């Protein structure tokens, strides 16, 4: 009997079979679980294999239906894998004749991408591809050369290496899909996976004219100065930055919190971030993130649920329906001492220098370690997936430990705030 738990923990290079479905198997690689059908070709007696789809997007019922179709082809004397290859060659030939353009390849990719990521991630991908592909969009996928790929990425590399890396990954995915779908010939080279590999890392944050790569954490004195200063911001930004410190959650998760994600349970209030909203959602072993709500975080959530009982707690009129993480970064920059934007607008300036919103999450994680929080508990609190075999077999949820240590963190933050007053 097929067991989803066994599929989730399947080691790379291993496979599962399904009782009553000869030839149907689920094979694991480092990143995927793939359904396939193995059979003996009626043409030459050799073993063949045809891919049916990926688990968990294709569940067992759909895999069985696909297996039944190709098995019937095999029993009728046909070779499903050979016919699939012939269809791909024909599609590729047709595409070369009609010119499968870069723009069409990007559009096809975005159509399939939209249902797998959040609206915010999709919109960012659409915007990046639209800007990057403008010089190439009318050309065919097959005509793109190594110099084309290098020149496009190199033009972004100096000033925006992180954006260049993101564009490189997206274009690699566009080409992967074009080749997998047969729209581009099998011998089409995906140059985006090859050029400038490992050479598009961030140069660090620009601070007073210098590039600094060190990851920033705030000292206790800086936290003591920041907490009472936050009400100088809008109420939304004050609450969001407070949530960073009191929950150690990611900004995107905080901004997208909904009333339905919050529940009162026997041991207290919990915010459950569903897999669909998590940064690590594509990892097979990922589960919903459980965030205990205590202290100021709980007060913020209760107050906002009272105002938005059926929707986002940080609503916005934008496409996503909630405040975006980049708006938080913009608000911080607007109040930084070195910000020269809109100089005619008088506004309070932060009394601490050179920090971003994510530094608050890192500061909370660092405080947990300094208080003696075990690494596996601290990593569970911030939603990191444990590496290797430990991440596969250690399925303990740490709910009690999360609540105990987040409560201790809240107590320490309050003590720091009191000491400064």
Sign, CA torsion 363/302/327/159: positive
Contact predicate 323/255, CB 8 Å: yes
Q: How far from the centroid of its chain's Cα atoms is residue 25's Cα?
A: 28
pLDDT of 371 above 80: yes
Task: Give the whole-number percent of the chain exceeding pLDDT 70.
Answer: 87
Q: Which tens digit of pLDDT belongs to each residue from 63-93?
A: 898 899 888 888 888 888 777 776 666 655 5
Q: Give the residues across from 231 on adjacent strands.
A: none
Pair of tokens at residue 294: 């205590």
pLDDT score recorded for residue 389: 37
- Give the DSSP H or E segment for 26: strand 24-28
pLDDT score recorded for residue 114: 81
CA atoms of 100 and 197, how far apart (whole Å): 26
Contact predicate 56/5, CB 8 Å: no
Pair of tokens at residue 160: 């925006």
Q: Which tens digit of pLDDT belongs to each residue from 186-221?
A: 778 899 888 887 777 655 555 555 555 557 899 999
Residue with the two structure tokens 């620009």: 206
Closest by alpha carbon to 257, among 246, 244, 272?
Answer: 272
CA atoms of 251 and 243, how far apart (whole Å): 9
pLDDT tier at 393, thresholds 50, 70, 90: very low
* Burial (CB count within 10 angstroms: exposed 0-12, middle 13-18, buried 19+), residue 244: buried
Supply the DSSP symbol for 143.
G
Q: Which tens digit of pLDDT belongs to each residue from 93-125?
A: 555 545 789 999 999 999 988 877 777 788 889
Q: Which tens digit of pLDDT belongs to each residue from 134-192?
A: 888 888 888 899 999 998 888 888 777 888 888 999 999 999 888 888 888 777 889 98
DSSP code string of 350-410: -SS-S--HHHHHHHHHHHHHHTT--HHHHHHHTTPPPPHHHHHH-----HHHHHHHHHHHH
- Give the DSSP H or E segment for 290: strand 289-293
Q: Which tens digit of pLDDT belongs to each residue from 330-367?
A: 999 888 888 888 888 888 998 887 888 999 999 999 99
CA atoms of 63 and 67, how far apart (whole Å): 6
pLDDT tier at 287, thresholds 50, 70, 90: low
Q: Which has more confidence, 394 or 286? A: 286
Domain architecture of the chain: domains with CATH: 4-78 (3.30.160.390), 102-193 (1.10.150.130), 220-420 (1.10.443.10)
Q: What are phi and psi of 52, to 5 degrees?
A: -105, -30
Q: Mean pLDDT for the chain?
A: 84
Pair of tokens at residue 282: 């594509």
pTM of structure: 0.58
């Amino acid at each position: 009997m097929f067991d989803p738990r066994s599929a989730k923990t399947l080691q790379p290079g291993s496979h599962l079979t399904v009782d009553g479905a000869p030839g149907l198997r689920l094979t694991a690689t480092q990143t995927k679980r793939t359904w396939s059908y193995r059979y003996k070709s009626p043409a030459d007696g050799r073993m063949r294999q045809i891919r049916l789809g990926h688990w968990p997007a294709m569940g067992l019922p759909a895999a069985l239906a696909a297996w039944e179709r190709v098995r019937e082809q095999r029993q009728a004397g046909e070779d499903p894998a050979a016919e699939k290859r012939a269809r791909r060659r024909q599609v590729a030939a047709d595409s070369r004749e009609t010119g499968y353009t870069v723009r069409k390849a990007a559009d096809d990719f975005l159509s399939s991408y939209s249902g797998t990521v959040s609206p915010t991630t999709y919109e960012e991908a659409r915007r990046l591809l639209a800007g990057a592909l403008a010089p190439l969009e009318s050309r065919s996928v097959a005509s793109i050369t190594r110099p084309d790929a290098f020149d496009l990425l190199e033009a972004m590399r100096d000033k925006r290496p992180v954006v260049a890396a993101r564009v490189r990954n997206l274009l690699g995915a566009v080409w992967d899909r074009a080749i997998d779908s047969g729209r581009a010939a099998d011998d089409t080279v995906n140059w985006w996976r090859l050029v400038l590999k490992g050479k598009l890392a961030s140069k660090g944050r620009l601070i007073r004219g210098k590039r600094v790569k060190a990851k920033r954490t705030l000292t206790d004195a800086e936290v003591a100065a920041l907490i009472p200063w936050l009400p100088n911001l809008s109420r939304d930004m004050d609450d969001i930055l407070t949530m960073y410190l009191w929950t150690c959650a990611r900004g995107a998760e905080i901004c997208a919190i909904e009333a339905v994600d919050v529940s009162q349970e026997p041991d207290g209030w919990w915010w459950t971030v569903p897999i669909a909203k998590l940064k690590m959602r594509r990892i097979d072993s990922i589960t919903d993130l459980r965030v205990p709500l205590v202290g100021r975080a709980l007060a913020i959530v209760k107050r906002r649920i009272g105002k938005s009982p059926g929707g986002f707690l940080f609503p916005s009129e934008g496409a996503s329906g909630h405040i975006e993480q980049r708006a938080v970064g913009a608000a911080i920059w607007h109040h930084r001492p070195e910000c020269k934007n809109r100089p005619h607008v008088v506004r309070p300036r932060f009394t601490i220098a050179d920090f971003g919103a994510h530094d608050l999450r890192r500061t909370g994680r660092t405080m947990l370690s300094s208080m003696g929080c075990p690494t596996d508990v601290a990593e569970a609190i911030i939603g990191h997936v444990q590496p290797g075999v430990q991440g596969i077999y250690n399925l303990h949820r740490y709910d009690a430990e999360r609540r105990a240590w987040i409560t201790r963190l809240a107590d320490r933050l309050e003590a720091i705030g009191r000491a400064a007053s």
